[in-house]
Amino acid sequence: MIPSDRQPDTLSDVLPEALREALFLASPLAVAYSGGLDSRFLAHAAANLERVDFVLFHATGPHLSPRESAAASAWAGERGFALGLAPVDPLVVPEVRANGRERCYFCKRALFTALAGAAAGHPLLAGRRFTLCDGSNASDKDGYRPGLRALGELGVFSPLAEAGLRKDDIRLLAARSGMDRPEQKARPCLLTRFAYDMAPDQTILAALARAEDAVEDIMAGGFGPHVPDFRLRLTSLRPLPARSGPARYVCELHLERPVPAAMEAALAEAVAAAGFARPKLVSAGVISGYYDNSR
């Protein structure tokens, strides 16, 4: 974070020339906007550059918590950014519903096809030659990301990655230029909470959203704005017919770092209140990529 006695730099002071050039040449932009750090920073950068036009497009659906979509819309609205919504249900794609290791490839194809259609019909872009872009950064190439292949096939442009910016670079640039919440944790879609080959459905996704919202609220009460990273993982299924619905899943709450015992109890109760069995709490350190790293 920027020290309180230091004024933020203007974005023109800190934005790399490679990113300026990429955004200028790609304008007008149709920005795939999740509300996460990377897509917010992309919008923040575009808004502070002359001769760069953009519209944000957010894919709503069961793969996201309604709270997350509402926060994304609110952030854009507070800044006067044009925002289009693209309702998508990734579960209609058989390969997504089967939840194999290539799930993200098929999901990204569905999401970005919908986003491209929404952009083509938006009044600010209709009839114009626009560039569909996203917030992928150079760090994303370090892990298993089959969705990146889908973006390449669809011709989606990733200006942050093109400019060589990694996640830590984006946090630094966001902080230095005064963008809010540069420490924001990644919140990948809810489909990533299921072990591979475990088929998701809308009912369980909705329960996951409720549970993680409740976990976030409890953690925010104890840690303030700097909530440690976490995921509620559904690791296996209990035998039928003993259990059904959310309670059928064996779940673990993975926490970036240990929390006080009283908070542990409250977190377990919050997950159970959403219909799941009480989870095992795991201090996991690195949260991202659990199912990819454990195979």
List pLDDT tens digits, range 162-179.
999 999 999 999 999 999
For the stretch 103-120, pLDDT in tens is 999 999 999 999 999 999
pLDDT for position 244: 72
Q: Where are the domains of the chain?
A: 11-176, 190-293
Structure tokens given for 110 = 């569905």
Distance between CA atoms of residues 68 and 275, nearest Å:
21
Distance between CA atoms of residues 287 and 247, nearest Å:
23
Q: Are the CB atoms for 183 and 145 separated by under 8 Å?
A: no
Q: What top-level class would CATH report for the domain 190-293?
A: alpha beta
Using CA atoms, how far residue 94 sits from 2, 104, 176, 234, 251, in Å, is 46, 12, 44, 20, 24
Count how many Cα atoms sit within 13 Å of the Cα of residue 256 in the half-sphere of its side chain.
Answer: 11
User: With 80 as the cut, is the pLDDT of residue 12 above it?
Assistant: no
Structure tokens given for 294 = 């454990």
Distance between CA atoms of residues 112 and 109, nearest Å:
5
- For residue 59, list its beta bridge partners: 86
- Pick one of 3.20.20.70, 1.10.443.10, 3.40.50.620, 3.30.470.20 as the CATH number of 11-176: 3.40.50.620
For the stretch 131-161, pLDDT in tens is 999 999 999 888 788 999 999 999 999 999 9
Q: Are the CB atoms for 33 and 85 separated by under 8 Å?
A: no
